[in-house]
A and B are shown apart, each in its own frame.
Chain A
């Protein structure tokens, strides 16, 4: 029991992924700033933001449901931390996990988004409810191609639904991104995680210029700090998942440390560049994009994977 709590709270859970996620958030902001001819924040800025928010007053909307509103960010953080533990334990080679952990992970990765929706609806703000409805539509759109890509990975990994075995297959036969279906799957999943992380062009649920941060509009103080921490953790966990699925996971022995860090940074860099070279699309366009194009891509990836390409 003690070991599990350590996994959850310290390494590779809350503390570790929170800190690494904070640094990745800084990396994202710094790259964004450089693309936009700005200086960018100092390296500790994400942590300053977090600590400052913790010290601020938390305001609860009068008409909202107090308990639901305040517990939603806690559960979102719980879901993000759990998914980061499930991804990082096999990714870092600490534990092999159990057969079927990829299916548990699919559910865990959705918890933060669902919690945002619940919290937004509990705040009784019209902008938040618009944001919540957008987030719901967005989940419905990106989840299908995301699952299809996972399916293509499972097929390539000899029908194994265990993350550590997916890594084992890759270390034996080379990373999946080296194959045609792997490249197509990688492009598809990159778009899906853009939507999962709520970044431009799919930051539709938060759309600052339209509905002023949508789902998070009523949050302040420590509740907002928890949402920020959730985002930091997701910014580490999801790229780590992509690295695990397509680039053969991470390894912390010798020179491989550098490689592992570079792989994660590369995925975050791609996400950042996509978000800086696109305007926000409308929810209708996003749904069409995922349902038609990304599903098509994902199905092609699955078919190619069946033929072993």
Chain B
């Protein structure tokens, strides 16, 4: 390593809302190498899910992430419902879409605020979070909770939106729009922010393909992907909206994509409310008796990108295997291209620009013996083990 200094970002650092460790190896202010260490927050959600019934898993996966707490149930619902092929009622689809989009609004506003905070621009931080409050109020009107909404269930949603709540929601949306204009203006027209964010942490479309990054991070680099359009679920093919992309790939483009997506979300919610008005008195939940044996795959576009859930059922009342892949899992490693070669100041905002959600993406890479503290296996050995097992399975099953 030579004369490089280690500047630690984490495990506990003002930049990170969650425990995570980025080691920046620096030469002066220039970042030469970044090493990412996970494992501070592992909760073995997938294993817990295997001990719950299909219905209970919703409330477990909701707690994978506190901010995008609907995207995981959304993807899980898509996965489980694809096993028996449940036909979700239209009214439930609209309600699901409204919750998904409201979540996008509050999550993106939260990111704008945090990004402002990391830049020392605390006024944007406070304003964005203040204007996020009415969105949480909307959640409270619809679901009864400000966070962790517990709305999803197999075949539909658990609560209906009542008719007298439509005007309340529409009023809150009307009031929210000018505030959003204000924040968008404050971010897009600030010359100092331009100087600070443009050309920083640039990811090209090639980088996005190399790392498989998804969501706003990919769209800011001109990669036009969005699960809502490419593999429509819920009511996204019933409403009119467009995917926002930008070409620059820098931090500013990422902010731009997120802010403009908010306008699309508002439009989607309005159309869904209109749709609900037409679907008066419809069912909100399809009857699902049992989940037959089989595998289901569910995808959903979380505020941070594509969430992927894999569920395997053996016909019993709980999944035998549940696999979660959160968007941050592919977005965070892009720091190798965006941070290296820049300064520490740029590295901090580039790390934050992918809107990392660490607990979503937490992976166990080592196996320790708890009582002795001795390491039994590291990541490479685990991979070797899995490859060996695959070979064994191949020879065992494919021969016959």
Contact = CB atoms under 8 A, between A and B. Distances in A.
Contacts of B123: 35-36, 276-277
B164 interface: no
Given A209-B120, A210-B344, A282-B345, 6 more contacts: A200-B120, A278-B192, A279-B120, A279-B193, A281-B195, A285-B196
A133 interface: yes
Interface stretch (B4-12, B213-221, B233-241): B4-12
A210 B15 contact: yes
B229 interface: no
B119 A129 contact: no
A200 B121 contact: yes
B192 A37 contact: no
A229 interface: no
Contacts of A276: 122-123
B116 A129 contact: no
Nearest to B117: A209
Contacts of A285: 195-196
Interface in A201-251: 201, 203-204, 207-212
A201 B120 contact: yes
B40 interface: no
B286 interface: no
A35 B29 CA distance: 33
B251 to A, nearest CB: 12
Contacts of A281: 192, 195-196
B224 to A, nearest CB: 30
Given A279-B116, A279-B120, A280-B120, A127 B345 contact: no
26 contacts: A32-B122, A35-B123, A36-B123, A36-B127, A37-B126, A37-B127, A37-B130, A127-B7, A127-B8, A129-B5, A130-B26, A130-B344, A200-B120, A208-B120, A209-B120, A209-B352, A210-B118, A210-B348, A277-B123, A279-B116, A279-B193, A280-B121, A280-B196, A281-B196, A283-B29, A284-B343
Contacts of A129: 5
A203 B119 CA distance: 10
Nearest to B187: A279
A211 B343 CA distance: 12
B178 interface: no
A93 interface: no
A126 interface: yes
A283 B346 CA distance: 11
B346 A282 contact: yes
B167 interface: no
A212 B14 contact: yes
Smallest CB-CB A-B distances: 6 pairs? A280-B120, A36-B126, A209-B118, A279-B121, A279-B119, A210-B348
Interface in B164-218: 190, 192-193, 195-196
B43 to A, nearest CB: 27
Nearest to A32: B122
B388 interface: no
A207 B190 contact: no
A38 B126 contact: yes
B315 interface: no
B13 interface: yes
A133 B121 CA distance: 23
A203 B120 contact: yes
Query: Chain A CB within 10 Å — which of B120, B193, B348 has the most?
Result: B120
Interface in B348-393: 348, 352
B346 A209 contact: no
Contacts of B127: 36-37
B85 interface: no
Query: Chain B CB within 10 Å — which of A36, A279, A282, A285 has the most?
Result: A279
A201 B26 CA distance: 24
A150 B346 CA distance: 35
A209 B14 CA distance: 5
Contacts of B282: none
B28 interface: yes
Contacts of A211: 7, 344
Contacts of A277: 123
Contacts of A208: 14, 120
B119 A130 contact: no
A207 B13 CA distance: 12
Interface in A34-55: 35-38
Interface in B108-135: 116-127, 130
Nearest to A211: B344
B396 to A, nearest CB: 52
A282 B352 CA distance: 16
Query: Chain A CB within 10 Å — which of B29, B345, B348 has the most?
Result: B345
B361 to A, nearest CB: 21
A126 B7 contact: yes
A200 B120 CA distance: 7
B386 to A, nearest CB: 37
A133 B15 CA distance: 21
Contact of A209 (B6, B196, B348): B348
A279 B8 contact: no
Nearest to B123: A276
Contacts of A210: 15, 118, 344-345, 348
B126 A207 contact: no
A129 B122 CA distance: 25
Contacts of A204: 345
Interface string B5-45: 11110000111000000000010110000000000000000
Contacts of A212: 13-14
Query: Chain A CB within 10 Å — which of B14, B123, B193 has the most?
Result: B123
A270 to B, nearest CB: 16
B199 to A, nearest CB: 12
Contact of A133 (B28, B120, B348): B28
A284 B123 CA distance: 24
Contacts of A133: 28-29
A127 B345 CA distance: 12
Given A36-B127, A278-B121, A126 B196 contact: no
A35 B127 CA distance: 9
A164 to B, nearest CB: 38
B355 to A, nearest CB: 15
A204 B116 CA distance: 15
Contacts of A38: 126
Contact of B119 (A36, A37, A134, A280): A280
